[in-house]
Structure 1
């Protein structure tokens, strides 16, 4: 009988559970010792590339596990999207990006809390083209995905709770073609200290709106927007070309930009340069300096209670902008305590200030009306309602008293509801509509002159004895883009009355200029210090040419009638004035004289009769259209005007001698002109004791134009 020896079991077979645990522990130790999170780098790269629609890579991935787990990537690099593949600089890169996650808060409270996001040397390249394509919209073609018609807008902002956003040596390059911007920004943050959550500082330099720009922003940490527990401090200084802007203060609720307490200051040589910064087009202005409060609500941005200077004028008020409408909606309520109208010149096409070269060019030009295009830029960029009141006007050339204006801009059209000026006890009131037609405006305008004191207008002229009351109307319908072009194509007319106008020798040189005014006075031959009893001008305008229905100048000694045209197409005039005594004689040689040439420097040339005749025709009246003018006269200067009496007298006694503007030959003489109905009127008019029979006119001496000019020059020289 043989005996079998028992076999010894291995430890693994003897204790299989313990062996398994030991192997697992060893494997775990080896995994921990040799583990590399970089194994996940390819997965991270592929997922990031797919999500951002551009190749995105990291070189290293580190994870520090714990209650607060920190994930850190190194060598972050994101290339430009395909539409910007030609760009040399990458879209984004950073030496490292660290994100800390509070795991405990998430597991127990379901709250996503990130104690720290840190970026080391981040660089970002933001690009946008004129066609709207950009590199920061994360789609394949760089354009925003179309929104569904039924999609509801998501206005609620849900962000994780972030403790600190730390940026070290950040750089942002912005090249934005629609804004004509190309600038570089340096970004740096400071860590939280005490109750402060830290700050962010941005220094920018480059070009914006084709102007060099430098800017500095110092504000609370970006994460203060999310916390919304303390007011967010703001300090922004911008220098854009010659324009400076400063914004200081705080925002009570930064996440929704509510409760703003911000002081905004603007200064520069021209408010029109603010358009790139504000989006609100403003005509050209002189230098300005304005300070006010900036407020923001979910529907409006308001620049309120601002005050400052614009040229020699003060300016204040409130401007409210609704940025959600397209175009922008602007409501402005403006005022000035004291205003110089020169400072408002840009609103009607004039330049607030001229260079020496422009002044020389203007002096050489034959144009007397402003020919600068109406300078209200980018009318389609806004819909606006503007009111403006100037309590007192200071202007030596046109001393009006105050201004009250209100206008609307709607879809590029301008409706001037009112533009009223007080002149003494009178009013200069106007209204107009301008509807765009290409680069031109279809214009319909009306101006009313009511009881305007001429002495108030002429007060800036030293020792002026001009006085009188002005009244009347002016209408204009035309297509153009400047005052000169509108008049050159205009239809309408002017009816103007000057009642009790004072000393004509004081008025004409001041209104027409010394040389032209004195020449006309010499041609009229009126005695010195002759008072104007009445002046009436009724001139229709057709296709840019003003003709004459009536032009009457009545003094105590004589009546002067005018006939002719003013051509605003080529800025010339062709006019004739004829003076006749209202008594037995007139202390001047009678007859017609002519004014013609360019409006800026016309020539005054008498007819041969003025120089060649020695006798005056006496007691001659004139054919005068016009009882229809009486309502205008009464509206403009009052019911008791001398012009009203003059119109009635002339219509009641239309003794004819000469048609307006014709040479004063006696009726029936060779070359004479007799107005229609004059003989009948003369036959029926009874003679009075004071009225003498006119002496027959002497045969006129026929002079050559050269002789007339030489004799006239000699007369003016000896005057």
Structure 2
């Protein structure tokens, strides 16, 4: 073979082999991956169920190819088309992929980087939102069939100059967040994600700062995931610091949660747990969770002037989240719990006092929020070991209640009072979104009057035992409305209660009490032997079936009404001697007008001699009251004897029911006007 023919063969072989290589090199050099852009746009739009586009696609070939997408844009869903802001945009998205891992069935992504991502998240009042994609429902169904989704192995996830806007009409939120990541600093440190948020949440200004481990650290089962969160929402402050063990597997935490603010009810938008109004608070404890529960454990702190500790556990997986709370206070100011019955838990401001002065209600009228109660089911126990309050002589509190589907079952709300107990229970069932049907009772059992007087007024009362019962059936949404619509009644007994001059001003308030004391005309050192009142409540009006005040030498009987619908009182009292000597008592007098500031005036009978025999015409049912008396203060008390004497030996000398209390003076043809009564009263007192 000649050298020429050999050279020719080599040249043909080179051309034959080199031409494809050259063509491949030319193809690579001239290839535009943008040719696939329409296909990518079409497929992603179909997958997400909304228009999705990219502007450019670049691929760097190699064993670890690099794919870069420019100009990513995801539009709003059709129901949000009126919003011109796109749902998501990013200037650049870069992904690196290991081909060898793909050949072995694994997805390994050494790096994902997003440059200038911007997202707009919205939820409207009707629950519609712009972040639910068409693929989400399919993904959820597949997850149920196949188990949890297997995430790819990502070594680094970088975000530069990210922006997120969240608008939620139900939460009254409009917040803007800026976020970025920091790069890894070592083989064990994957960097952090940092997010700063400003705006409004629950109608209040919000500022938050979050620093967490890199998103990829969530997959690291060996290294706890670090969290450092600070939130200021209005006056509420929240900090959460610590680590989470294997977050995707719910293996526990080492987190410390610190909450503080002016009112715990303001926590509702942040926690979803409705709490009544409280005074300022500051509590700190451990936050933990597992696959079933979130727990705020062993927290301690204060609420107002009361200390507070305990554990709260939440099961968020039920249709309505369930809360289990065990709370305790060593020392509690009962005023701090006022919000639980609709009262203001803290001292009122000057403007609030002015508003309160114009309000005719003497009972709390703050409505209970029925829809909020339906958002949670709960079982709560609370023990206050020592109550400190200058106005209420209560020693301790033991409470247990549950909330189920908006209904409240107060299993017990018991207070220790000296050697006695004030025990109550109630059920409140919602009848609509505003009102409850209520059935409640309160038992007064052997309550020590001397303890009450000493604690509440600083005065003393020798002995004295209080007993009785209060019952209420009603419909309403506050203490005031429940009493205004209520049926039931109060039976109360006091045996050997000390000096009347100390009791009446303490019970009625200094100004009104002194006026009543003067009107009674009793000696200042009269000793109370028995006090009994039996007042049925019908449609918000408490009338008098029986009212007896017995001292060592007098008997005072009362009759009249207290109207909780109009917040007015119309009551009369008459005092007579029980001895043979007829004392000079002024006769009957009336307490009338608004409950907040009633007027004490004499009745017309004081001007005539008929006063000596008038006005004890009240029918007492002593046998009906005996069971309550015996339960409250024990058998054989002076009150049992006093009730019998009222019917068998009336001080007026006439049988009960035989005399008109407000009769005009003998020989008079007309009733006296209020002006004439006042003038006569002043004249008589001068003598």
TM-score of the superposed pair, with normalisation by structure 2: 0.92
Deviation at 1:347, TM superposition (A): 0.9
- Counterpart of 2:163 in structure 1 is 171
Is 1:214 the equivalent of 2:207?
Answer: yes
Counterpart among 551, 555, 575 of residue 551 in structure 2: 555
Deviations 1:429-459 (A, max 9, x none): 1111111122111111111000112232233
Partner Cα separation in structure 1 for residue 621 and residue 23 of structure 2: 120
- Counterpart of 1:118 in structure 2 is 113
Deviation at 1:56, TM superposition (A): 2.5
Q: After alignment, is 302-311 or 52-61 more displaced?
A: 52-61
Partner Cα separation in structure 1 for residue 496 and residue 9 of structure 2: 135
Whether contact under 8 Å (2:392, 2:456) holds in the other structure is no
Is 1:372 the equivalent of 2:372?
Answer: no
| Structure 1 counterpart SS, 2:222 | coil
Q: After alignment, is 454-463 or 63-72 more displaced?
A: 454-463
| Structure 2 counterpart SS, 1:378 | helix
Deviations 1:564-615 (A, max 9, x none): 2222221222222222211112432363222222222222222344344499
Deviation at 1:204, TM superposition (A): 0.9
Is 1:197 the equivalent of 2:190?
Answer: yes
Is 1:73 the equivalent of 2:69?
Answer: yes
- Counterpart of 1:680 in structure 2 is none
Counterpart among 437, 442, 445 of residue 447 in structure 1: 442
Counterpart among 400, 405, 420 of residue 406 in structure 1: 400
Partner Cα separation in structure 2 for residue 127 and residue 267 of structure 1: 29
Whether contact under 8 Å (2:370, 2:406) holds in the other structure is no
Q: How many correspondences in the alignment?
A: 677
Deviation at 1:308, TM superposition (A): 1.1
Whether contact under 8 Å (1:589, 1:614) holds in the other structure is no
- Counterpart of 1:659 in structure 2 is 656
Partner Cα separation in structure 2 for residue 238 and residue 465 of structure 1: 52
- Counterpart of 2:497 in structure 1 is 501
Compared with structure 1, are the counterparts of its residues 22 and 418 closer, same or farther at alpha carbon in structure 2 (3 Å cutoff)? same
Counterpart among 393, 413, 426 of residue 419 in structure 1: 413
Partner Cα separation in structure 2 for residue 224 and residue 582 of structure 1: 89
Alignment of 1:285-304 (within 5 A): 285-304=278-297
Counterpart among 250, 271, 282 of residue 257 in structure 1: 250
Deviations 1:297-317 (A, max 9, x none): 111111111111111111111
Partner Cα separation in structure 1 for residue 14 and residue 122 of structure 2: 63
Partner Cα separation in structure 2 for residue 130 and residue 145 of structure 1: 26
* Structure 2 spans left out of the alignment, 5+ residues: none
Deviation at 1:157, TM superposition (A): 3.4
Whether contact under 8 Å (1:347, 1:374) holds in the other structure is no
- Root-mean-square deviation (CA), in Å? 2.9
Deviation at 1:382, TM superposition (A): 0.6
Compared with structure 1, are the counterparts of its residues 623 and 130 closer, same or farther at alpha carbon in structure 2 (3 Å cutoff)? closer
Counterpart among 384, 398, 401 of residue 390 in structure 1: 384
Whether contact under 8 Å (2:207, 2:233) holds in the other structure is yes
Compared with structure 1, are the counterparts of its residues 579 and 168 closer, same or farther at alpha carbon in structure 2 (3 Å cutoff)? same
Structure 1 or 2, whichever has the larger Rg, is: 1
Counterpart among 320, 329, 335 of residue 336 in structure 1: 329
- Counterpart of 1:42 in structure 2 is 38
Alignment of 1:313-328 (within 5 A): 313-328=306-321
- Counterpart of 1:704 in structure 2 is 672
Counterpart among 92, 95, 103 of residue 91 in structure 2: 95
- Counterpart of 2:349 in structure 1 is 355
| Structure 1 counterpart SS, 2:269 | helix
Q: After alignment, is 96-105 or 379-388 more displaced?
A: 96-105
- Counterpart of 1:692 in structure 2 is none
Partner Cα separation in structure 1 for residue 420 and residue 52 of structure 2: 75
TM-score of the superposed pair, with normalisation by structure 1: 0.88
Whether contact under 8 Å (1:73, 1:98) holds in the other structure is yes
Deviation at 1:364, TM superposition (A): 3.1
Deviations 1:203-247 (A, max 9, x none): 111111221111111011010111222000000001111111000
Compared with structure 1, are the counterparts of its residues 700 and 458 closer, same or farther at alpha carbon in structure 2 (3 Å cutoff)? farther
Deviation at 1:181, TM superposition (A): 1.8
- Counterpart of 2:507 in structure 1 is 511
Whether contact under 8 Å (1:319, 1:332) holds in the other structure is yes
- Counterpart of 2:234 in structure 1 is 241
Compared with structure 1, are the counterparts of its residues 624 and 123 closer, same or farther at alpha carbon in structure 2 (3 Å cutoff)? closer
Partner Cα separation in structure 2 for residue 567 and residue 708 of structure 1: 24
Counterpart among 156, 175, 179 of residue 183 in structure 1: 175
Partner Cα separation in structure 2 for residue 714 and residue 115 of structure 1: 104
* Structure 1 spans left out of the alignment, 5+ residues: 1-7, 666-670, 673-696
Partner Cα separation in structure 2 for residue 626 and residue 417 of structure 1: 32
Whether contact under 8 Å (1:577, 1:660) holds in the other structure is no
Counterpart among 78, 100, 105 of residue 101 in structure 2: 105
Whether contact under 8 Å (2:650, 2:656) holds in the other structure is no
Partner Cα separation in structure 2 for residue 461 and residue 279 of structure 1: 39
| Structure 2 counterpart SS, 1:258 | coil
Deviation at 1:174, TM superposition (A): 1.6
- Counterpart of 1:138 in structure 2 is 133
Whether contact under 8 Å (2:370, 2:435) holds in the other structure is no
| Structure 1 counterpart SS, 2:493 | strand
Deviation at 1:253, TM superposition (A): 1.4
Partner Cα separation in structure 2 for residue 178 and residue 17 of structure 1: 76
Compared with structure 1, are the counterparts of its residues 375 and 530 closer, same or farther at alpha carbon in structure 2 (3 Å cutoff)? farther
Partner Cα separation in structure 2 for residue 246 and residue 165 of structure 1: 26
Deviations 1:527-566 (A, max 9, x none): 1210000000011111111222211111111111112222
